């Protein structure tokens, strides 16, 4: 037989080839691998966020908690922080959820260019706010709360004969007039606004189709007296 030659030697286990560093290796480095200034910046940022979150949560808790020593001493500062940005409205929940749609409307008595007077139609200010909020991911607090809270303030500070109860009643009237004049402007329908009138239109929310509940869904109006417009009702004029 022919000689097959020497048998091949076993090379042994192969050593793994060194891997090239990937593009994400730097992102996996621990914070301790950063420079000292970088570590300080991150530590300060984390501490600032933690302190801000603690202050916000504590203030929100104190705002809704029963009266205590802290709220009695610092109640004004707590309210200044909470309102209006972090205001909470509980009317959505039991035991007395809001079951009405309330729209605030206004009209004006104007002085026409020929020297006569005319009355405009009713303008639905609440509907304007609703249109501005709808499909807007970041609506302003003015559009959401200003008119609604002003009307709630008026209702809560006047009796059934529209007589103001104390200073809050008088202030609520002035607040309503200023809001209306900001919406209408000095001129409306081609004439100068001399008087304004405000009303609310309240409509009960209809029950669902599967409910046997009977609800009167007719709109009920609460119409306020005519108010004469003064310089105090034109805040933009006072700044000039």
In a domain, 116, yes or no: yes
pLDDT in tens, 62-83: 888 888 898 889 888 888 888 7
CA separation for the pair 151, 34 (Å, rounded): 57
CA separation for the pair 97, 81 (Å, rounded): 26
Same domain as 192, residue 227: yes
The total of structural domains in the chain comes to 2
Tally of residues, the chain: 240
Element (H, E) at 49: helix 36-64
Q: Give me the pLDDT at residue 151, please.
A: 94
In a domain, 73, yes or no: yes
* DSSP codes, 131-158: HHHTT-SS--HIIIIIHHHHHHHHHHTB
Q: What are phi and psi of 159, to 5 degrees?
A: -90, -175
* Confidence check: pLDDT of 201 > 60: yes
Q: Note down the domain range covering 190.
A: 100-207+216-238
In a domain, 23, yes or no: no
Last residue of a domain, one of 82, 110, 142: 82
Q: Is 239 left (phi over 0), alpha (psi -120 to 50) or beta?
A: alpha
The model's pTM? 0.64
CA separation for the pair 101, 78 (Å, rounded): 31
In a domain, 109, yes or no: yes
């Amino acid at each position: 037989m022919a000689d097959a030659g020497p048998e091949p030697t076993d090379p042994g286990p192969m050593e793994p080839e060194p891997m090239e560093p990937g593009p994400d290796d730097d992102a996996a480095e621990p914070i301790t691998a950063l420079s000292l200034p970088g570590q300080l910046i991150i530590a300060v940022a984390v501490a600032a966020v933690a302190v801000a979150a603690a202050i916000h949560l504590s203030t929100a808790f104190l705002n809704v908690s029963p009266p205590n020593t802290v709220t009695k001493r610092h109640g004004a500062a707590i309210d200044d922080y909470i309102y209006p940005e972090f205001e909470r409205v509980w009317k959505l929940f039991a035991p007395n959820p809001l079951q009405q749609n309330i729209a605030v409307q206004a009209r004006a008595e104007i002085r026409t260019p020929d020297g006569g007077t005319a009355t405009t139609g009713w303008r639905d200010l609440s509907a304007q706010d609703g249109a501005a909020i709808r499909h807007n991911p970041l609506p302003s607090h003015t559009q959401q709360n200003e008119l609604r809270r002003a009307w709630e303030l008026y209702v809560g500070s006047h009796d059934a004969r529209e007589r103001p109860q104390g200073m809050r009643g008088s202030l609520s009237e002035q607040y309503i007039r200023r809001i209306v004049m900001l919406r209408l402007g000095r001129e409306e329908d081609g004439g100068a606004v001399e008087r304004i009138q405000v009303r609310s239109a309240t409509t009960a929310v209809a029950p669902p189709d599967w409910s046997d509940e009977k609800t009167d869904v007719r709109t009920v109006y609460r119409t306020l007296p005519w108010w004469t417009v003064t310089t105090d009702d034109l805040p933009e004029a006072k700044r000039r």
